[in-house]
Amino acid sequence: MPAMTSANQSSLADAIIQALRSVLGADKTNLHEPSFNGNEWIYLKECLDSTFVSSVGSYVDRFEKELATFTGARHAVAVVNGTAALHLALLLAGVKEGDEVLVPALTFIATANAVAYCKAVPHFVDSNQHTLGVDAGALRAWLQRTCEIRDGHCLNRQSGRIIRALVPMHTFGHPADIEALLTLADDYHLALVEDAAESLGSYKDGRHTGTIGLLGVLSFNGNKTITTGGGGAILTNDSNLARMAKHLSTTAKIPHAWQYSHDAVGYNYRMPNLNAALGCAQLEQLPGLLASKRRLYEKYRSAFAGLAGVQLFHEPPGCHSNYWLQTLVLDADMAAERDAILQATNAAGLMTRPVWTLAHQQLPYRHCPAMPLPVAESLASRIINIPSSAFLGGMDLS
């Protein structure tokens, strides 16, 4: 195909800006902002008045119970952030020093960091263009070529290390093909830990993300669908794992009225009551926030319909996505125009962002094992996230 001219580049960028403006209006618009329209001030004041602002308090217990109820998980354990949640989840899944853990190359670096915290090695795998998550078929073919089952473990013949776990990530809130990945994990003796940091309110065949594997993790960072400021949670249906998650996240302190005895290397990872108070108020509004984000998707779908060279990403079949970040994917022959579009939209006051630099290209992880990554590398060159705050869809505050 002939190279794009500067006029063609400008035409595509202008068309995208026009489509965005038709939805967002003329105001400067950020990528994602939290919405505080409920009982946040009331609950925070109650928390402050109680003086229980740290990791002990009624709001932590309430937040965990309500989060478990919403997701359908048997247990939810609230912690300080999503990375801490994933670190603990991997430890609870049996990841040991020197193991390998399969993680997508197309993910925020925290996924790989949590593996490194365990003194394990990330092993990067490719994505599926229809889900943006781990490609189960391509990964199975890779494991068939490079691994063997020995003594009940998946052994990487190339490195000699045990591959202990698989961590699919539900990218931008869109569920990965989790059933196929769960079957793959069973076949290769892998613990499956779902990185559902972005997907609170997303479902695959009626099951909430983060509740299908052995453990799942959520994030409540300031840019997520609901926020506790900083915060995260571990989801599991295993009561023993939930008990250990709470124990290890509370410095492994043995309960006692006054003694300070600890029976393991623990972590100061418990969510403070102050953050949980904010989370309780946010959870009350979650159904409305999700409905608003879906309305925003529908507005964007109309605005971008028929625009050549770019597609608005749609939830995969059988999935109900929270549409955390609305996502444009440029056609392959338009990939070279990504940066020009980013520059033009941001200059127009419309905050847009590319996807994260792929994890295997990050300096700390360039030495790590990786399967061929053609889809992840292609997607990384073509993805543009566009303004996605829930209030942009029109909040129903009644």
Give the end of a domain, one of 282, 314, 340.
Answer: 282
In 72-177, which ranges are continuous DSSP H helix? 82-92, 110-117, 136-146
Q: Are strands 191-195 and 162-166 parallel, antiparallel or unpaired?
A: parallel
Q: What is the CATH number of the domain that holds 371?
A: 3.90.1150.10
Q: What is the CATH number of the domain that holds 239?
A: 3.40.640.10
Residue 378 to residues 26, 112, 221, 336, Cα–Cα distance (Å): 32, 20, 28, 11
Looking at the fold, whether 122 and 64 belong to one and the same domain comes out as yes
- Structure-token pair, residue 153: 């473990």
Whether pTM > 0.75 for this model: the answer is yes
Looking at the fold, whether 269 and 298 belong to one and the same domain comes out as no
Residue 242 lies in a domain: yes
In the chain, which ranges are continuous DSSP H helix? 6-24, 40-50, 58-71, 82-92, 110-117, 136-146, 178-187, 239-248, 273-304, 338-347, 374-380
Looking at the fold, whether 166 and 240 belong to one and the same domain comes out as yes
Give the end of a domain, one of 238, 261, 282.
Answer: 282
- Structure-token pair, residue 98: 């020197």
Looking at the fold, whether 237 and 300 belong to one and the same domain comes out as no
Q: How far is 57 from 47, CA to CA, in rounded Å? A: 8
Q: How far is 20 from 167, CA to CA, in rounded Å? A: 34
- Structure-token pair, residue 117: 């915290």
Residue 1 lies in a domain: no
Looking at the fold, whether 114 and 229 belong to one and the same domain comes out as yes
What are the mean pLDDT values of the chain's consecutive 10-residue runs (398 residues total)?
Answer: 48 96 94 96 96 91 98 98 98 98 98 98 98 98 98 97 98 98 98 98 97 98 96 98 97 93 96 98 98 98 96 97 98 96 97 98 98 98 98 75
Comparing CA positions, the residue from 168, 229, 220, 176 lying closest to residue 198 is 220
Comparing CA positions, the residue from 252, 212, 280 lying closest to residue 88 is 252
**Length of the chain, in residues:** 398
Residue 140 lies in a domain: yes
Q: What is the pLDDT of residue 394?
A: 87
Looking at the fold, whether 17 and 53 belong to one and the same domain comes out as no
Residue 202 to residues 99, 218, 232, 268, 313, Cα–Cα distance (Å): 30, 11, 16, 29, 15
Quote the domain boundaries for residue 250: 40-282
3-state helix, strand, coil in the chain (%, to 5): 40, 20, 40
Give the H or E element holding residue 36.
none
The angle formed by the CA atoms of residues 47, 86 and 198, to the nearest 5 degrees, is 75
Q: How far is 45 from 117, CA to CA, in rounded Å? A: 36
Q: Are strands 121-125 and 100-104 parallel, antiparallel or unpaired?
A: parallel
- Number of domains the chain contains: 2
Comparing CA positions, the residue from 9, 15, 32 lying closest to residue 304 is 15
Residue 223 lies in a domain: yes
Looking at the fold, whether 22 and 155 belong to one and the same domain comes out as no
Residue 270 lies in a domain: yes
* Residue 154, beta-bridge partner list: 149, 163
Instruction: Please report how many Cα atoms fall inside a 13 Å half-sphere around the Cα of residue 396, on the Cβ side.
Output: 11
Looking at the fold, whether 219 and 311 belong to one and the same domain comes out as no
Residue 398 lies in a domain: no
Looking at the fold, whether 103 and 237 belong to one and the same domain comes out as yes
Q: What is the pLDDT of residue 396?
A: 65
Q: How far is 9 from 15, CA to CA, in rounded Å? A: 10
Find the largest Cα–Cα distance for the chain.
75
Looking at the fold, whether 47 and 80 belong to one and the same domain comes out as yes
Looking at the fold, whether 235 and 89 belong to one and the same domain comes out as yes
Give the end of a domain, one of 282, 301, 320.
Answer: 282
Residue 318 lies in a domain: yes
Residue 97 lies in a domain: yes
Contact assessment for residue 117 and residue 87, using Cβ atoms and an 8 Å cutoff: yes
Looking at the fold, whether 74 and 16 belong to one and the same domain comes out as no
